Structure 1
């Protein structure tokens, strides 16, 4: 212990005597250690730390698997059947998002709500902080529940945080609901992008076949593995019949809940951590080179200590203590950078998960940072330490001080530079692929034009809008009033707007075909008004748009997209063909009156699927998205939309008023943030690699000053000396780039899942990066080479 303290004091003195070296190396290490710690904090929060629920490893998500739909919602009879016949789960609960209109207050309010089975919170293992949990009798047959649970936030924000809130009533969708409990303050449900205000119990109708509208969360029975529960549920699903003749039998999909929640984040986080790990290795090689130079310049001091009796182990310890101390200094600086870096990484993570798994500087992250700092110090300090402890003492004692530095070299310095170049090239290639992928996503034609369009969500209360005529009168009235305003180009409404995160699909058959499973197909369907296609500038390729002639009393009609025609009609003429959506026997055959352009409804990276559009007049719904194309500023259009809704129904809340371009920007937010981070890491890697090349050549020139001076004195031309030094740098560059290309070819294959429109091996990117890195390396070689070509023979010959 005494020797360790002595070495620590010696290391502190040595580092404080060279503040320039200490600060440069410390800042380099701070950047890479801080970046690694930030990425670890994200991976720990999202992937490693269990969800904040009792026995989170037993929570699973379950989907119904249909034709062409691998993650479909579940119908109530299926959930009831799974509960009855499956033994692999202790409980199964259904849930789904919705919105309710709260009235009876000064201003109507849209309330973010969830419809759940009464056992939902029992499955999660969550108990209300006030009041009681939901009971089965709270969801009577018929669905007319009169109770709700409220979130802690809604209790504080909208109900004043009064202590006697249990028993108060809320008027939701025109009906009174008693508050029976308040959820804990720290509860948040990670499936929903927004915090939910109220939770409403819902009855499961055993006759509601074919209506797949809810998600299912389950808890594994004690001692049952995920695989066993999945197999058991598969057997149970086979025994659940479907009432409609010809309907294809559904299967199931079961996934661990945390795996499901982090599916879209996992690959990005691991890729970024690998990238920042490469930067760490490059930085370690860089600092190791600096430490090796210090070691070479202090070889005589080390030889004297060895001659005085210092053992090889003691000399190794002394060198490692200095490198670890330097790394810990960088780690402390890195923790300060973490606070800034966490804000950047948060843009990559889903807001719903951040509510339950916040990104924070906790004990685990601090412990990782300390271990990483120590490990980094040992990594970059090991080679210099081994060189210092293993040097031959007697030859060094016979040399003068300058001779020691001049004649002592180490091939490891060149090897470290080659490693830096290779790692930098791999990182640059990966970044180039991600940049190309982002460019491809941004260049995707979504099938609509979002510029100049604003939108808002409207959900009519069922008590006030039971009749279809009232629904039609409301939406058509708002559209007419908006079109009467100056500057309005088009107004329309649709139930599922593109890129909105919601979609509906169902079976259909073509006229003349049987109802057998082979003749039933899947189509996504939307309910749209006249003006919807004009508002988003979705082109009509054949036939016509919906018009005033399409009423509730006219012949049933439908519009399909080009993908529908290609897949189901062989790409031929679709006009006049008739289809019937088969979710129930009451649906009539509908004549195809138009074919519209494909729209990327789910995301920009998923191709369009077959879609059908029903006219709102013939299929009125209560929840719609109003879309307005304006020639003026979006802010005035949003204000006009709110005013006209209020003019038609003052009790109708309007929510999610946004320019439609925000939907596209939201989808691009994560890939843009990923690209920026990778570009920053790649830029740092290139700088460090360039500094490494420069350092090796500059040191080599310093070592060879006498030799170069003699060459000049014997008649060597400065260009010959320039080529001599450049050739050394070019060999290092060629070897580093060559190894990097081979490594990049293997490494980028693991990026395939994160790329769009670009293959992992893109020759132009590989070649472009190799040329760019070689050029930068050559530029780094040029400065010491020019200095070597200007060596004065007289001065070099006077050197020791």
Structure 2
């Protein structure tokens, strides 16, 4: 222990007397260790830390996969049937989001709500902090259900944290609901993008077989594996299918399951691992760079080490002394890296789902600090061990007989060349990944969404049933609202749609084509939209055939529908759609609707997700309570938000409008993840290229310095400076070719891991690989050219006199 303390004190003095070297090494390590700590914090929070529920490894998400819809919700009929026949799950619960209006205060406001089956919190293993959970008798048809659970935040904000809050009534969509319980502080449900404040029990209609709106969460039965439970659920689904074939329930082969945490992190997992691989490469490059610097210092101090060996110092003691210096550098880099972590945390948070961040925030916690400490010490050992072993392993006697200059001149150091080759290879991998992500970002930005979001304002309304009980009330309200909004001076057109593109909401369900050759027992699912006249014109959605909705599509007009091109391709085989009749099976008495138009495909959920089949119905024939209003404006859309609120208040002072934002903001959210990913990779790649360039320059400059006498003799014997320049450049070219070749092979293997993050570009695109190789080779040769130019200008007389 005394020897270790002595070595640490000696290392501190050495580092203090070489501030340039110390600062360069510490800053290099700080960037790499800080970046690794940030990514570890994100991976720990998202992938390694269990969800904060009882036995979270038993929680499973369940959905159906249809031909045109990857994650289809289920009907109440299906969920009830699965519950009855499945034994692999101890509980199956349903849930879905619903926006409500809360009144009774100074002004109406939107409340984020969810409807759930009464066993929902039992599945999660969550008990209310106050009051009780839902009971079976709370699940009544929606116009009769009056129980509610509220979040801790809602209790504090809207109920003032009152001790008698349980038992109070709150007005939701005009109905009085009794608060029966308050959920624990910090409770959040990650399957929803927003933090839900009010939970209501949902009555599952056993005849509700046409409308797919229920998401399903299950808990595995004790001792049952996911595979066994899935197989049992498929058998149950097949039983339900055979019993209700006319209702077209899901067949067994469409059922898909996944552990809930895996499902929640499915989009973030490949991104986080890819970024951690990138910062891991940066750390290796930084370690190689610092190892090269240490090797230069060690070669210059070989004779000092030989003297210590002659005086009795063992090789292990000399290695310990060298490692004490490298570990101190690693620790200093780790401490400085922690100062960079807080900035990096904010950047990484932009890549992750907000719902998961609420539950498991990315923060500098104890595991992250322990990781940073371990990484700092480990990096110090990594970049210090090879130079220490290399220099202490040389024969002592020849070193004592020679001068310091001779020792340096004759020292052969292939290790330095190998380290530089590794730096170039890793830098090439990062550059290839960055270029692919830049191309992905350009491709996403170039996607034609099927609509024009420029100068469009959108907002969402939810009309309470108690105030607007009939369809005529809904028609009257929305018709008057559109008239008022169209009369505003800066509004060009205004329209309605139940689910606007990029809004995060969606509705799908069964349909039937009249006269179709398909088997009537085979389920066909499509997305449903309800739109008003002028909706397509407002968003500039092109009408490819037929017409858009007009006055003739009124309540008393013939039932009509409009489909998109994807519907025609998927279900009509690309054949003529106009005149065909389709029935949306939301109700048993739903009429067949004549297709009067075909519109362009719209990317509804994500820009990178192909358009799905859609059926549009005219609003007057199928009015809904929850609708989105879209306005095409002549000036900045946000400037009209105040006017929209005033018009709405004049109609109904208790009716709030929410998510009143320019449509462009939805598009910006779509681009935020690829943009942040590209920026991070670009920063890592730039750092890697700089470090690799510095590494090449350092090796070549050191080589030229050690060969000064040789080069001077060559010039004295008549060699042309261009020959000396070529001699040094050839040495740099060898390093470059080795590094680039190794990097191309590594990149070819690694880029397949990045494939899930790419869009519109091949992970092994030859032009990208070739372009990056040429660019990195140019940087490396430029770093070689500077010392080579200096070598060609060596004065023979000066170099010979120096000897």
From 485, 494, 498, the counterpart of 1:495: 498
Relative to 1, partners in 2 of residues 1:389 and 1:326: Cα closer, same or farther, differing over 3 Å? same
- SS state at 1:36 partner: helix
- SS state at 1:391 partner: coil
Relative to 1, partners in 2 of residues 1:222 and 1:510: Cα closer, same or farther, differing over 3 Å? closer
Residue number in structure 2 paired with 1:247: 248
- SS state at 1:154 partner: helix
- 1:625-644 equivalences in 2 (<5 Å): 625-644=628-647
Counterpart CA distance in 2 for 1:715 and 1:57 is 77
1:515 is displaced (CA, Å) by 6.9
1:327 is displaced (CA, Å) by 0.7
Counterpart CA distance in 2 for 1:555 and 1:642 is 35
Relative to 1, partners in 2 of residues 1:573 and 1:73: Cα closer, same or farther, differing over 3 Å? closer
- For the 8 Å contact 2:149–2:200, the answer to whether it is kept is yes
* CA displacement 1:204-263 (0-9 Å, x = unmatched): 222222322111112112222111111111111111146462726433222111001101
Counterpart CA distance in 1 for 2:510 and 2:766 is 44
- SS state at 2:530 partner: strand
Q: Is residue 2:334 matched to residue 1:331?
A: yes
Residue number in structure 1 paired with 2:273: 270
755-764 or 679-688, which deviates more: 755-764
Residue number in structure 2 paired with 1:709: 712
Residue number in structure 2 paired with 1:620: 623
TM-score (normalised: structure 1): 0.98
Counterpart CA distance in 2 for 1:510 and 1:646 is 43
Counterpart CA distance in 1 for 2:701 and 2:619 is 76
Relative to 1, partners in 2 of residues 1:219 and 1:357: Cα closer, same or farther, differing over 3 Å? same
TM-score (normalised: structure 2): 0.97
1:142 is displaced (CA, Å) by 6.2
Counterpart CA distance in 1 for 2:341 and 2:208 is 52
Residue number in structure 1 paired with 2:457: 454
1:592 is displaced (CA, Å) by 1.4
Unaligned runs of 5+ in 1: none
Residue number in structure 2 paired with 1:76: 76
Residue number in structure 1 paired with 2:483: 480
Counterpart CA distance in 2 for 1:153 and 1:621 is 30
Residue number in structure 2 paired with 1:732: 735
Relative to 1, partners in 2 of residues 1:761 and 1:518: Cα closer, same or farther, differing over 3 Å? farther
From 388, 396, 400, the counterpart of 2:391: 388
- SS state at 1:71 partner: coil
Relative to 1, partners in 2 of residues 1:202 and 1:578: Cα closer, same or farther, differing over 3 Å? closer
Q: Is residue 2:421 matched to residue 1:401?
A: no
The total of aligned residue pairs comes to 800
From 649, 656, 659, the counterpart of 1:656: 659
1:374 is displaced (CA, Å) by 1.3
1:779 is displaced (CA, Å) by 1.2
Counterpart CA distance in 2 for 1:201 and 1:567 is 37
1:196 is displaced (CA, Å) by 1.0
Relative to 1, partners in 2 of residues 1:142 and 1:113: Cα closer, same or farther, differing over 3 Å? closer
- SS state at 1:232 partner: helix
Counterpart CA distance in 2 for 1:779 and 1:698 is 12
Residue number in structure 2 paired with 1:429: 432
- SS state at 1:700 partner: helix
* CA displacement 1:516-573 (0-9 Å, x = unmatched): 3477633222100001001100011111111112111111111111222233334343
- 1:319-718 equivalences in 2 (<5 Å): 319-513=322-516, 516-517=519-520, 521-718=524-721
Counterpart CA distance in 2 for 1:181 and 1:369 is 42
Counterpart CA distance in 2 for 1:507 and 1:216 is 18
Residue number in structure 1 paired with 2:27: 27
- SS state at 2:268 partner: helix
Unaligned runs of 5+ in 2: none
- SS state at 1:30 partner: helix
Relative to 1, partners in 2 of residues 1:363 and 1:782: Cα closer, same or farther, differing over 3 Å? same
Residue number in structure 2 paired with 1:798: 801
Relative to 1, partners in 2 of residues 1:272 and 1:111: Cα closer, same or farther, differing over 3 Å? same
- For the 8 Å contact 1:319–1:388, the answer to whether it is kept is no
Counterpart CA distance in 2 for 1:584 and 1:133 is 32
- SS state at 2:281 partner: helix
- For the 8 Å contact 2:72–2:508, the answer to whether it is kept is no
- 1:175-254 equivalences in 2 (<5 Å): 175-241=175-241, 243=244, 245=246, 247=248, 249-251=250-252, 252-254=255-257
* CA displacement 1:755-781 (0-9 Å, x = unmatched): 110011112211111111111111111
